[in-house]
A and B are shown apart, each in its own frame.
Chain A
Amino acid sequence: MTPTLQILRAGPQMTVQDLGRPALTAQGLATGGAADRTALAEAAALLNLAHFPAAIEMAGMGGEFAVTLPTRIALTGAPMRAKVDAKEIGWKQTHLILPGQRLSIGGALSGVYGYLATAGGIATEPVLGSRSTHLVGNIGQILAAGDGLILGPDPTPNAPTVRITPEPRFSGGAVRMMPGPQTGLFEKAELARFLASEFARGAASNRQGVRLEHGGAPFQAGEAAGLASDFIAVGDVQMTGDGVPYVLLSECQTMGGYPRIGTVIGADLSRIAQLSLGGRVRFTLISVEEADRLYRSPAQMIAEAKSRVAPLVRDPSEISDLLGYQLIGGVVSGRDEEEY
């Protein structure tokens, strides 16, 4: 039997996401992929994978799922309330889901994007080297009730349950930004005012970008206004015509005419993507050399996440249930959201 993840109910924006399609800028296609790559690295670490998996990204709200074969899953990213049948289960850990069980994932408790990854990965046909849905690029589609996703087989369904200490990123904080091609064209005083301001997530935010609201006057682009359309990097902080900053995420356009005051480094972009409505961010400008030193390859991201994985301490009386393919879970649920 082909292992399949059945979608019984779908939240409004559930899509398959991996690391996307790099190096297609010349063709006008942004890399795309998961809005929170740290969450994919944490899923890879939990499931002991060597590569970033394709996983289901759930914006704000999850759905209901079933499997056709015993399948280990990892739940990462924005913590969401999760249940197997009637029993609450913990986030940021692995679980074994059995055929006949119903996995329900609710709304985000903090942050925005939650992820459901399976140990054998999603095995749908890649398009241009990736399984990521790219809505702007018209590749793939939003998942809906009734869809079935072919999975790779779980090589070790009996592997012990593990949990991860997530990188804190759901309530804002300091975000590091490096200079970009237009940073030097902004007035120094305006750049200083930007760096001194505190921002909240605007409602008009999605996988293309996060709008940032603050109490002060709009930002002036100075000499950076009226330039030729030029390339955009993921993480660019773009000043729209009305002086409101947007941080561009994985599904942004590849070129544009609005000036950009800097580029958020990869390590901190998840903090922007996951910024909760009540959270606040502040930017610090670092040098190009420091930004380059802070680069982490996908393999380094997974290795770092693996260092935060630990076995789940559980009641030994439940071990026999595990061997009998009964679900272990709920041991840590609902009592450690403060860690986020």
Chain B
Amino acid sequence: MTGPKAQTPAYEILPLGQDCVLVRFARKPDLSALSAAQRFRAVIAGQQHSEITEVAPSLASVLLRFDPGATPRARIEVIVQKALAELGPDADLPAPTRRWHLPVAFGADAGPQLAEAAALAGLTQEAAVRQMVEADLRVLAIGFAPGQPYIGLLPDNWNLPRLSQLTPKVPAGALVVAVRQLVLFCNDSTTGWRQIGQTGFRPFWPHSSTPFRLEVGDAIRIEHVSQMDLAALAPERTEGLGGARLEKTR
């Protein structure tokens, strides 16, 4: 069950446990696979198949969950094949339907590794923050921890390696950078990425009516705020929003 077909990106249809099918567009991350995964997810979600209980995109694949007690795997594979046929050739990422404006404080206590990260990216700290604020960013994937987004892609000069020594603890709300991506931590975490900023926004707020705030494909614009402003936007004062605003773009 392996592609490629004419006009359709290469793909593999694979089993993932007894209740999932994985459609993989590439083994290593690249922009074409990222786009294919997001477009495929949009096609499948738009078709509203009752047999599919969950659709989740990652950087290079899409997971489809089904109820094996009600639906045979072969039926899911037929749905996948049909949806792939509608995917069309390589294209840009689908246009975002929502955009988050996310206040972030950079440097000093809020981003102890900003200077080091900026130097590796060949920039002054001020220029590094400017690139972050000007970048047209997307939520590329959500995972590892609840609600936790992988955000990107940053310009090429941000293709920084991970640290060889893990940082034992960055706080909840830490914004960390590596490999042209940002991760925004929901909880205190160990990381091999460099912390450049801090936000009062919490991507997972369990007792809210919308506990998971971000979706794959959401656009993100970073707004630079001072450490003092950040204190006023503390999550416990803002129901975990940290001053973030959601704008519908269509």
Contact = CB atoms under 8 A, between A and B. Distances in A.
Interface of A: 22-29, 127-128, 134, 136-139, 178-181, 185, 226-231, 233-236, 253-256, 263, 265-266, 288, 291-292, 294-295, 297, 300
Interface in B17-53: 17-20, 22, 24, 26-29, 33, 53
A136 B187 CA distance: 9
Nearest to B63: A231
Contact of B144 (A26, A178, A253, A263): A253
Contacts of B186: 138
Contacts of A180: 14-17
A331 to B, nearest CB: 38
A181 B144 contact: no
27 contacts: A22-B65, A23-B65, A26-B63, A26-B142, A27-B204, A28-B147, A29-B212, A128-B211, A137-B146, A137-B204, A180-B14, A227-B27, A228-B26, A228-B28, A229-B58, A230-B24, A230-B60, A231-B16, A231-B20, A231-B22, A253-B143, A254-B144, A255-B144, A292-B68, A292-B72, A295-B68, A300-B69
Nearest to A255: B143
Contacts of B56: 25-26, 231
A26 B216 contact: yes
Nearest to B14: A181
Q: What size tier do the contact residues of chain B reach?
A: 35 or more
Nearest to B57: A26
A134 B204 CA distance: 13
A235 B216 CA distance: 25
A292 B73 contact: yes
Given A26-B55, A137-B146, A138-B206, A266 B28 contact: no
B39 to A, nearest CB: 16
Nearest to A260: B16
Interface in B205-223: 206-207, 211-212, 215-216
Most chain B CB atoms below 10 A, which of A25, A127, A181, A235 = A181
Q: List the 5 shortest-distance A-B pairs measured between CB atoms, nearest first.
A: A233-B17, A26-B56, A255-B143, A297-B69, A23-B54
Nearest to B149: A28
A19 to B, nearest CB: 13
B18 to A, nearest CB: 5
Contacts of A24: 54, 146, 212
B61 A231 contact: yes
A112 B76 CA distance: 37
Nearest to A138: B187
Contacts of A29: 146-147, 204, 212
A181 B72 contact: no
A27 B146 contact: yes
Given A139-B206, A179-B15, A28 B54 contact: no
Interface in B194-208: 204, 206-207
Contacts of B22: 181, 230-231
Contact of B145 (A28, A127, A227): A28
Interface in B97-149: 141-148
B124 to A, nearest CB: 31
B59 interface: yes
Nearest to A181: B14
Nearest to A127: B206
A294 B17 CA distance: 12
A290 B25 CA distance: 26
A181 B211 CA distance: 30
A27 B17 contact: no
Contacts of A234: 17
A297 B71 CA distance: 12
A180 B212 CA distance: 28
A233 B20 contact: yes
A178 B18 contact: yes
A234 B19 CA distance: 10
A229 B17 contact: no
B54 A26 contact: yes
Nearest to B13: A181
A177 to B, nearest CB: 11
